[in-house]
Amino acid sequence: MNVFDAIQKRREITQFQMKKVPQNELELLLDAGYLAPTGNNLPSKELVLVTNQEMLHHLSKTTPYVQWLENSSAAIVVLGRPEISKYWLQDTSIACGFIWLEAVEVGLGAAFGAVYHAEDANESKVREDHVREALGIPEDRRVVAILGVGYPEKEPEAKELLSRDTVVYYENFKK
């Protein structure tokens, strides 16, 4: 599958089959995140693979919006390192996208669960600490997101997007 096909096929999958994902496929997802570019090539991102079902159940309580983690086969927790690079949030976001597209490539479904909350420091701390304490993550890391992965229970239809001309501009922002 080429990259553009994966981009077009990508869906947020929140219902998974109760089927274990082989380790070699999980390693491909980790490699996709590892190989994702970072600002100034600094090591500002880290990845934690979780396959233990009890831990997935615990992580599903991080926010009310990631309950689907409980039924995923695995999760990848994406960490940022602000002391390494001022681009840590961008770097981790790019890694999440690469992981998601590789999931599509190997026939898996994925869903993105935001943990870091840029507009509410208190909420972000509660969410991040929930994950941090469970996985032994040091305080100097930011818990940006959890990507749940597994075999899709069903393939949802594409969501209707805004028309392209309301999003894409040429040369300047004039409409």
The structural domains of the chain, with segments of one domain joined by +, span 12-109+119-153
What ranges in 78-157 are assigned the alpha helix state H?
88-105, 121-135
Q: Which residues pair with 114 in a beta bridge?
A: 145
* pLDDT tens digits, 38-72: 999 999 999 999 999 999 999 999 999 999 999 99
Residue 175: pLDDT band with limits 50, 70, 90: low
DSSP state of 120: -
pTM of the predicted model as reported, rounded to 2 decimal places: 0.93
For residue 140, with 0-12 CB atoms within 10 Å meaning exposed, 13-18 middle and 19 or more buried, which class applies?
Answer: exposed
CATH number listed for the domain at residues 12-109+119-153? 3.40.109.10
Segment (H or E) for 50:
strand 45-50
Query: Of 22, 37, 29, nearest to 103 (Cα)?
Result: 29
